[in-house]
């Protein structure tokens, strides 16, 4: 069903510009990095902001938006968010996992929970009764809690075996993820999607934009700012034990 972009487009354009500038900044910083392990962090982080920039552009230009009928009310739903998050959130978790030195099973568990969370969140957004929307939201939030549990449990335990600078960088990024990711289901349920109509679409779009920029560009700036720490990840044998 057709839907048009309203005055909230201002926030979507700011998101597009912010993600693009973030991408250019990371590309600039990544030039000249020769170490393969270090390059991994740059490649992953550059893809995160590139995908987000493309999806923000899609939303700002009216491609990534649809209308969902809930009862006799038409909700404006930006479905492109879920397409963005389906790829960008696993990549963020991959960055964290590589930093912590997690094994494949831990990485697979985290990414599995994450894809399940975004998938069920997308079903919630497209469901046509308030009851089913909230049920799917609760299922998705359950997956988020399980995911955060792995982050503070197994992944943090892995990180403690790293060099102290690496472990401390991991700790900062993990706390940022916990604080920001927790707010997504809150904005969702208060916003248009939740059907309670507490937060109007205009302010909901602004809130998601601030969260997205912090969780992607902010995260990337902190991760990539310290070359010496990433060098430690690249050469773990050189790290004192
Ligand atoms: C860059 C984008 C990020 C970090 C997005 C994170 C998104 C979430 C943690 C979304 C979670 C949701 C739930 C837990 C409940 C249902 C609605 C969602 C998809 C907003």
**pLDDT tens series, the chain, 241 aa:** 567 899 999 999 999 999 999 999 999 999 989 999 999 999 999 999 999 999 999 999 999 999 999 999 999 999 999 999 999 999 999 999 999 999 999 999 999 999 999 999 999 999 999 999 999 999 999 999 999 999 999 999 999 999 999 999 999 999 999 999 999 999 999 999 999 989 999 999 999 999 999 999 999 999 998 888 888 887 755 444 4
- Centroid of ligand 1 to alpha carbon of 181 (angstroms): 6
**pTM for this predicted structure:** 0.95
Centroid of ligand 1 to alpha carbon of 118 (angstroms): 6
- CA of 185 from ligand 1 middle (Å) equals 6
State the distance from the centre of ligand 1 to the C-alpha of 27, rounded, in angstroms: 26
Could you tell me the distance, in angstroms and rounded to a whole number, from the CA of residue 56 to the centre of ligand 1?
Answer: 16
Q: Which of 146, 185, 209 to mutate to test the pocket of ligand 1 (most atoms within 8 A of CB)?
A: 185
Mutate which of 52, 53, 117, 210 for ligand 1 pocket (most atoms within 8 A of beta carbon): 117
Whole-angstrom distance, CA of residue 141 vs CA of residue 147: 10
pLDDT at 217: 98
Alpha-carbon separation of residue 144 from 99, 105, 209 (angstroms): 21, 18, 20
Find out whether the beta carbon of 144 lies less than 6 Å from any atom of ligand 1: yes
Helix (H) or strand (E) holding 76: strand 73-77
The CA angle 14-111-173, to the nearest 5 degrees, is: 55
């Amino acid at each position: 069903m057709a839907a048009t972009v309203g005055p909230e487009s201002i926030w979507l354009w700011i998101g597009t510009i912010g993600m693009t500038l973030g991408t250019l900044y990371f590309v600039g910083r990544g030039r000249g990095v020769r170490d393969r392990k270090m390059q991994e962090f740059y490649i992953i982080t550059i893809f995160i902001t590139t995908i987000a920039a493309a999806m923000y552009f899609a939303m700002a230009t009216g491609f990534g938006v649809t209308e969902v009928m809930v009862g006799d009310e038409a909700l404006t739903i930006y479905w492109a968010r879920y397409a963005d998050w389906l790829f960008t959130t696993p990549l963020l978790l991959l960055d964290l996992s590589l930093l912590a030195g997690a094994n494949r099973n831990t990485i697979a568990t985290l990414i599995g929970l994450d894809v399940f969370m975004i998938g069920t969140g997308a079903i919630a957004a497209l469901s046509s009764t308030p009851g089913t929307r909230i049920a799917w939201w609760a299922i998705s939030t359950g997956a988020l809690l399980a995911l955060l549990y792995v982050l503070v449990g197994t992944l943090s335990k892995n990180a403690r075996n790293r060099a102290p600078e690496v472990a401390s960088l991991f700790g900062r990024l993990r706390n940022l993820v916990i604080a920001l990711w927790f707010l997504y289901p809150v904005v969702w349920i208060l916003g248009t999607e939740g059907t309670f109509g507490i937060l109007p679409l205009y302010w909901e779009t602004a809130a998601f934009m601030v969260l997205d920029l912090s969780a992607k560009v902010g995260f990337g700036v902190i991760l990539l700012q310290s070359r010496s720490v990433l060098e430690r990840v690249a050469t773990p044998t050189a790290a004192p034990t």
